[in-house]
Amino acid sequence: MERTAAFIQDVECYSANNYHPLPIVIEKGEGVWVHDVEGKKYLDMLSAYSALNQGHRHPKIIGALVEQAGKITLTSRAFHNETMGRFLKKLCQMTGFEKALPMNTGAEAVETALKAARKWGLVKKGVPENQGEIIVCDNNFHGRTVTIVSFSTEEQYRYGFGPYTPGFISVPFGDGDALEKAITKNTVAILAEPIQGEGGVLVPPEGYLAKMRQLATLHNVLMMLDEIQTGLGRTGKLFAYQYEEAKPDVLLLGKALGGGVYPVSAMLSANHVMDVFGPGDHGSTFGGNPLGSAVGQAALEVLEEENLVEKAFTLGQYFREGLEKIQSPLVAEIRGKGLLIGVEIKQEHGKARPFCERLMELGLLCKETHDYTIRFAPPLTITKEEIDWSLEQIAKVLK
């Protein structure tokens, strides 16, 4: 374990102390498997928080990356490049939206949507300038910028980072009546995750997204869904909102859009929302760059060609049924959709991290979220046999 200790020592010496990773140093990966610097093999059940839906180093995505890197990687948006248009055409046709604005990280996509909603409220809805309100949900996680943490309800995410950006109203997640009561004449948008991943894999009551869609239409408010973690097949549908046919006005994507090899994100919307932006209103030096666009297109093609959305639905059901059969007295609840699954540990049995550490020792990598929940989110390329193996290891720990 000397190599592991040496690498971790460098991080602890020179890195900001802003993460608490498991004590493993990963050296290489392929598909659903990774190896550490000691040569031990692990099944990755986190997928870099769902950024690796297509698996580690998918050959088609790596091929697109290498081919494009051999031509040109960055032009900025001062000039056109040959890959961005093709990528955005594929993205819009696959998702059913009219326009896409490419960015890099999920938080950037969220910030883009917040700006779009505020300007839309001013120029399209007629809300007085600087009076627009955006409704968000308690326990949300949309990123780490100052504006985004301003509407977080998690004190740790906020403490010390004020003064906070105003203009946000928070209501309980999954409560349609509270959402309705919060809407005013100055409301310009509702921003929500269809499943709160960081919040503990919290699934709202059936009909919640449909009611959100109904209220947004009734009150001329933009419905904006953050599917950065739930999107692109993770929940067994291309998008989680499709379980209720509650198509939003604005859809936010990231993580798996970059195929696990490059940061690519996007805001998607109808023309009437996107056209509030004119040249100079918003942008990004790296957004829509040739390398990211080539990778993004390949990432979308892999989802289609390998039927990963359908696999996530079928295998997710199989995995959840396997977890239920363990019948562990330590477990309070198992929840999720597709291959996004949370196993909540009863508080009297302690926090989830020791369970994650034990699973790591058995060759399975996962991570706790919100103290008591173990999140399982393997690449969508996982097989039934690999799920069976993982269930054996999970049973050892939960029993």
Query: How do the domains of the chain map onto residue ranges?
Result: 2-54+307-398, 59-305
CATH no. for 59-305: 3.40.640.10
State residue 48's pLDDT score.
98
Per-residue pLDDT, averaged over 44-72, amounts to 98
Going by pLDDT thresholds of 50, 70 and 90, the confidence category of residue 143 is very high
Q: Determine the Cα–Cα distance for residues 205 and 126; give it in Å rounded to an integer.
A: 33
State residue 27's pLDDT score.
98
pLDDT at 374 over 90: yes
The mean predicted confidence, pLDDT, of the chain is 97
pLDDT at 2 over 90: no
Per-residue pLDDT, averaged over 276-292, amounts to 98
pLDDT digits (tens, 9 = 90+) for 115-137: 999 999 999 999 999 999 999 99
State residue 96's pLDDT score.
98
State residue 82's pLDDT score.
97
Respond yes or no on whether the N-terminal peptide bond of residue 163 is cis (omega within 30° of 0).
yes
Helix and strand numbers (H, E) in the chain are 14, 15
Per-residue pLDDT, averaged over 311-329, amounts to 98
Per-residue pLDDT, averaged over 52-64, amounts to 98
Q: Determine the Cα–Cα distance for residues 73 and 262; give it in Å rounded to an integer.
A: 12
State residue 91's pLDDT score.
98
What class has domain 2-54+307-398?
alpha beta
- Residues facing residue 344 across a β-bridge: 333, 373
Backbone angles phi, psi at 220, to 5 degrees: 55, 55
pLDDT at 40 over 90: yes
Alpha helices in the chain (DSSP H): 2-14, 47-50, 59-69, 84-95, 106-120, 146-150, 155-158, 176-182, 208-218, 271-274, 290-305, 308-326, 353-361, 384-398
Pairing of strands 33-36, 26-30: antiparallel
State residue 8's pLDDT score.
93
Task: Give the residue numbers marked as catalytic.
Answer: 141, 226, 255
Going by pLDDT thresholds of 50, 70 and 90, the confidence category of residue 399 is confident
pLDDT digits (tens, 9 = 90+) for 219-241: 999 999 999 999 999 999 999 99
pLDDT digits (tens, 9 = 90+) for 77-106: 999 999 999 999 999 999 999 999 999 999
pLDDT at 1 over 90: no
Half-sphere exposure of 113 (CA within 13 A, CB side): 35
Q: Determine the Cα–Cα distance for residues 272 and 2; give it in Å rounded to an integer.
A: 58
pLDDT digits (tens, 9 = 90+) for 165-220: 999 999 999 999 999 999 999 999 999 999 999 999 999 999 999 999 999 999 99
Query: Cβ(242)–Cβ(210) under 8 Å?
Result: no
Going by pLDDT thresholds of 50, 70 and 90, the confidence category of residue 4 is very high
The string of DSSP codes covering 7-40 is HHHHHHHHS-S-----S--EEEEEBTEEEETTS-
Q: Determine the Cα–Cα distance for residues 330 and 157; give it in Å rounded to an integer.
A: 29
Per-residue pLDDT, averaged over 58-70, amounts to 98
